[in-house]
Chain A
Amino acid sequence: MVVAETQVYMPQAPRTRQRLLEDERWLAFVLLVPTMVLLGMFIAYPFVRGILLSVTNSRVGVPGDFVGLANYYKIWNDGIFHTSVYNTFLYTGVTTVFKLALGLWLALLLNRNFRGKAFTRAFILLPFIIPTVLSTFAWKWMFDPTFSVLNWLFYHLNLISGRINWLGDPDLAMISIIVVNVWRGVPFFAISLLAGLQTISPELNEAAAIDGAKPRQRFWYITWPLLLPVTMVVVLFSIIQTFADFQIVYVMTGGGPANATHLFATYAYQIGVGTGLLSEGAAISLAMFPILFLVVIVQLLYIRRVEVR
């Protein structure tokens, strides 16, 4: 009876509005609008503009005309671009391996019980929390040929006799930025993998210990396969980030010496903003897109497979 009366006195307008909201298709649409607007404004629009830009010959202050794939053709034959492609792969590959190995090692250590565990876990995050540009400047000083604390240390340990020009030598410069990237990226790996480790029931390791598995075997047969989905996600994230890394190289070497340490991002910036060849810079940026896209697809498929197991 109460229900019937309520319906009688219900004003007309709110009822239609209400009915509209109760329709799930409408409601879903309404709820998605803010996200779609944001994604469209900040991701889709710049992306499309980037593509359009890369097929013109526009530069700073000059709108430019359509030139087809001329920019792509140009970078295809550009020696520095080749170096930066090679560098990007090397940089991403080497740092990811080191970050994973060190991060996993740290995570395994932190997953044990010891005094000051909480403090250490927080402490580990420091490189991740400090703004990258600031910490990279600190590293730049450490690699400075004159003021290098590393040179000082090695000299006093009698390991070297003269100064090492860390950032002046192409190979040493590459090693230097790799070191900084690893230093900066390990905490993310360590903390994420630690979180993953904590979801693995300690009973599984105990059961394996009783089953006769030695620590190394417990790691390979129990911990590693159970951690794999988390590891894959973390590696995927890291690869994407490292592939498009900019700050560390920009601050440390600026792409030098003699353009030897350029990555996709720094080279695109140098051409697009530094030199003002906007369209060519856009083409360089976009050149890494298919590669990243492939990485993402492969890894997502792999993660799906691991999770389904």
Chain B
Amino acid sequence: MGQVVLKGINKFYDSVHAVKDVNLQIRDKEFVVFVGPSGCGKTTTLRMIAGLEAISSGDISIDGSVVNGLAPMDRDIAMVFQNYALYPHMSVYDNMAFGLKMRKFTRPEIDRRVRDAADILGIGELLKRKPRQLSGGQRQRVALGRAIVRHPRVFLFDEPLSNLDAKLRVQMRVELKKLHLRLGTTAIYVTHDQVEAMTLGDRVVVMKDGVVQQVGEPLELYNRPANKFVAGFIGSPTMNFATVTVTEANGSLIAENAGLRIRLPDGTARRLRGHIGHKVTLGVRPEDLTVAGAADPDHPCFDAVIEVVEQLGSEILLDMKVGQDVMVASVEPTVRVNVRDKLRLAMRPSSLHVFDVKTEEAI
């Protein structure tokens, strides 16, 4: 079992309000990812769950019982630190066995568990080495091994992959996912990398300035971001935004600004009925833009001037000027364009997002 509930969690460091009224229910066996920019309170939240940081107000419960006053060792959790925090003077074996020794497991049981974990992680050959004789990826595995030998109720990860190079990070990401499928232990994972969040999380918690912005499955966040921040944070390259005025002409709604004039598709128009004559923020993802052709006559279109062409092989990123706004489009690699070309682009109708200019909430 490993159900974690956060109820009205706050954290103050003197005058800094680092975590603000976080409410969250994490189900057993779930993989939940906390994501957000630097300093948004992810680590602090994780450390409060671990018991390494006192809770200023609110309750954290694991499997139904409040753990606020419990020491880390009594919470039956395991944590993987960003810098691994391996005991430098102990061998890999002793690093993994330490937690079991402290909990007075018998020698044969310790041995069995350590070797099992080493097998799962493929570090059987390294058991006699000291941490400093290991590569970054190997240390990472040892840190994971130290966590899994204990069979805890919850795994806590604080940016465990951020010290690895890009290739290894992708590889370890897959392994982590496999490991979770295999062990089925509840996992809470902190990262500032939205790709990690999207690929690993059953659910993702987006935080900013200590406030939870949205909680949802990865596709939910991608397709229906709750506000402009989430919309901009999830997805790469980031969503394009343009401030437009909503007007009505011939019964349909038009969104326009200095360089843009598009007829809003029906779904979007319905939501904006109440905003005629007002400004809203329009959002569209780079991958929802295509070079306009005859195939989609009813798609909203606009003109753009190409400023930079980034050839990525699998796609082309076009940095464009649209009136006063700068936008990015991700188009088919077969498209032939040059800098300073004028191009007509189309938006997929269902992909338009609109946000309130002031509150930045999705409309």
| Interface, chain A (partner B; CB < 8 A) | 201, 203-204, 206-214, 217, 221-222, 225-226, 309
Contacts and interface: CB of A to CB of B under 8 A. Distances in A.
A82 to B, nearest CB: 43
22 contacts: A201-B85, A203-B81, A206-B52, A206-B79, A207-B81, A207-B85, A207-B87, A208-B87, A208-B102, A209-B73, A210-B51, A210-B72, A210-B73, A210-B99, A211-B73, A211-B146, A211-B150, A213-B98, A217-B102, A221-B87, A222-B87, A226-B89
B346 interface: no
Contacts of A209: 52, 71-73
Given A212-B102, A213-B102, A204 B73 contact: no
A216 to B, nearest CB: 11
A221 B98 contact: yes
Interface in B53-92: 71-73, 77-79, 81, 83, 85, 87-89
Nearest to A228: B89
A212 B88 CA distance: 18
Nearest to B74: A212
A210 B79 contact: yes
Interface of B: 50-52, 71-73, 77-79, 81, 83, 85, 87-89, 98-99, 102-103, 130, 146, 150
Max count, chain A CB within 10 A of own CB: residue among B51, B52, B83: B52
Contact of B72 (A201, A206, A217, A222): A206
Closest 9 CB pairs of A and B: A211-B99, A212-B102, A203-B85, A212-B73, A207-B85, A210-B72, A209-B72, A213-B102, A225-B89
A201 B81 CA distance: 12
B87 A210 contact: no
Contact of A204 (B71, B85, B102): B85
Nearest to A221: B98
B103 to A, nearest CB: 5
A207 B79 contact: yes
B103 A212 contact: yes
Contacts of B51: 210
A210 B102 CA distance: 10
A208 B87 CA distance: 9
A118 to B, nearest CB: 17
A309 B72 contact: no
B51 to A, nearest CB: 8
A209 B99 CA distance: 9
A225 to B, nearest CB: 5
Contacts of A210: 50-52, 72-73, 77-79, 99
A230 B179 CA distance: 40
A210 B130 CA distance: 21
Contacts of B150: 211
